[in-house]
Amino acid sequence: MRKETGELLERLRSERPLVHNITNTVVTNFTANGLLALGASPVMAYAREEVADMAKVAGALVLNIGTLTAELVEACIIAGKAANEAGVPVLLDPVGAGATPYRTESSLRILREVKVAIVRGNAAEIAHLTGEIREIKGVDAGDGGGEAPVELAVRAAAKLGTVVAVTGREDVITDGTKGFVVAGGDELLARVTGAGCLLTSVMGAFAAVERDPLRAGAAALTLYGAAAEAAAVQAGGRGPGSFQIAFLDALAGLSANSAGADAVRPLELAAGGGAR
Ligand SMILES: Nc1ncnc2c1ncn2[C@@H]1O[C@H](COP(=O)(O)OP(=O)(O)O)[C@@H](O)[C@H]1O
Ligand SMILES: Cc1ncsc1CCOP(=O)(O)O
Ligand SMILES: [Mg+2]
């Protein structure tokens, strides 16, 4: 897996895939800079008049409802359908699902009308999409209720019929029957707004160069965690501001050897679908 992750990073850097983001007003600049630092080519395009044309020529489409409006949700659906027709992978970040009914309903509507390759969210957001209640405060997860994210991710993937990534201290990506658990990262990621949103877009960049969403997602999660660890060292305890800048540098500095040998392990599922 480590070798494959390095190869995917090299492929990404040579192909520089166009990632079409329909995202929120908080994280637009950070997302574009993070994708550029990694080696992808970001574009933000929201107008209903153009989203289908942009999505069709992109390597991946990332839908993010962080500052949703009725117009934005319509744009997501138009773009998502065009991407589906063109065979372009679509990712969804259901920011704040569960914080308000409108966020939950809009995420579920997108999932009904668009074939989504990967949904990535924190534990509270993913739980709310499956109809379970978890503590959520705006866009931030609570403590996750103590349950291992593996169980939640497996249940959500089965219920939503798509690959699901649940992130937090430990990350999980699964299609409900197999997947990966990824360790690493740094707590400072939770102190930088947009760290989750950028991660979903980074997963989009990998999905553009690797059609297996589990492998693409695992590579993105592994390298993102490695970049965070390098940035924390570089920031030297100065805090979230220094870390944010160091993190962009660390994304640019990722190499085939950056992924830790034991950062990612295959998800083992017991007979009957439960996690072991
Ligand atoms: N306590 C933590 N320790 C290490 N990494 C973390 C921690 N909390 C979040 N992360 C990382 O931060 C990134 C964003 O995840 P998360 O905070 O779950 O998303 P969101 O910002 O959407 O709530 C992921 O790479 C995740 O692994
Ligand atoms: C603070 C905030 N409010 C609406 S969207 C947003 C950004 C959320 O970003 P992330 O989920 O990546 O922390
Ligand atoms: Mg988020």
> What spacing in Å lies between the alpha carbon of 204 and ligand 2's midpoint?
18
What pLDDT does residue 189 have? 97
**What is the pTM assigned to this prediction?**
0.97
Helical packing angle, 101-113 and 70-86, nearest 10°: 20
| 197 half-sphere exposure, CB direction, 13 A CA radius | 25
Ranges of residues in the chain whose predicted pLDDT is under 50: 276
Q: Whose CA is nearest to atom 20 of ligand 1?
A: 196
Q: Whose CA is nearest to atom 6 of ligand 1?
A: 169
- 178-198 per-position pLDDT tens digit: 999 999 999 999 999 999 999
Q: Whose CA is nearest to atom 26 of ligand 1?
A: 168
From CA 63, how far away is CA 90, in angstroms rounded?
A: 7
Residues lying with their CB under 5 A of ligand 3, a single-atom ion: 95, 196
Ordered DSSP codes for 119-178: EEEEHHHHHHHTT----EETTEE-SGGG--HHHHHHHHHHHHTSEEEEESSSEEEESSS-
Q: What ipTM was estimated for this complex? A: 0.99
> What spacing in Å lies between the alpha carbon of 234 and ligand 1's midpoint?
19
Are 231 and 186 in contact, with CB atoms under 8 Å apart? Answer: yes
Place of tokens 């990332």: 62
What pLDDT does residue 133 have? 84
Cβ-proximal residues to 21 (8 Å cutoff; 6+ apart), any chain: 28, 31, 32, 42, 43, 44, 62, 64, 201, 204
CATH number for the segment(s) 2-266: 3.40.1190.20
What pLDDT does residue 135 have? 86
What pLDDT does residue 271 have? 55
Ligand 1 pocket member 64 (CB < 6 A): no
> What spacing in Å lies between the alpha carbon of 244 and ligand 1's midpoint?
14
Q: Which residues of 157-192 are buried (b: 16+ CB within 10 A; e: fewer)?
A: bbebebbbbbbbebbbbbbbeebbbbebbbebbbeb
> What spacing in Å lies between the alpha carbon of 139 and ligand 2's midpoint?
6
From CA 259, how far away is CA 244, in angstroms rounded?
A: 20
The verdict on whether residue 203 carries a ligand-binding annotation is: no
Are 223 and 169 in contact, with CB atoms under 8 Å apart? Answer: no
Q: Where are the beta strands (DSSP E) in the chain?
A: 18-22, 41-44, 60-64, 90-93, 118-122, 136-137, 140-141, 163-167, 171-174, 179-182, 264-266
What pLDDT does residue 192 have? 98
Amino acid occupying residue 54 = M
> What would the two tokens of residue 10 be?
């090299």
Task: Count CB neighbours of 132 within 10 A.
Answer: 17
- 123-146 per-position pLDDT tens digit: 999 999 999 988 888 898 876 555
